[in-house]
Amino acid sequence: MPKKLKRVPKFANEAAERAFWETHDTADYFDLSKAVPARFPNLKPSTTAISLRLPVSLLEQIKIAANKRDVPYQSLIKMWLAEKVG
């Protein structure tokens, strides 16, 4: 016999909902066997603009390297930073 699922209560705010789920098991409220993957194609990671002073010669070298790879130079800088940090 299938497990009887509990009803999810109404929450006054996000903090109350967060506190509830910290102490309750979602399996008691949802049939996880019926879960389907979700896609968020328009979701973009948050970014922050920064100002970075570079010597003109270094920036020119970066632009040349980016041009050879056919990518914008700022994208290339982000890729290089991600490689070094990750």
Mean pLDDT, residues 49-77 taken together = 97
- pTM of the predicted model over 0.75: no
Residue spans per domain, the chain: 1-36, 56-85
Residue 36 structure tokens: 């389907």
Q: In the structure, what pLDDT confidence band is assigned to residue 79 with cuts at 50, 70 and 90?
A: very high
Burial 24-33 (b: 16+ CB within 10 A, else e): eeeeeeeeee
Distances (CA, A) of 11 to 5, 17, 20, 31, 32: 18, 6, 9, 21, 22
Q: In the structure, what pLDDT confidence band is assigned to residue 72 with cuts at 50, 70 and 90?
A: very high
Full DSSP string of 2-46 = PPPPPPPPP-SSHHHHHHHHHHS-GGGTS-GGG------TT----
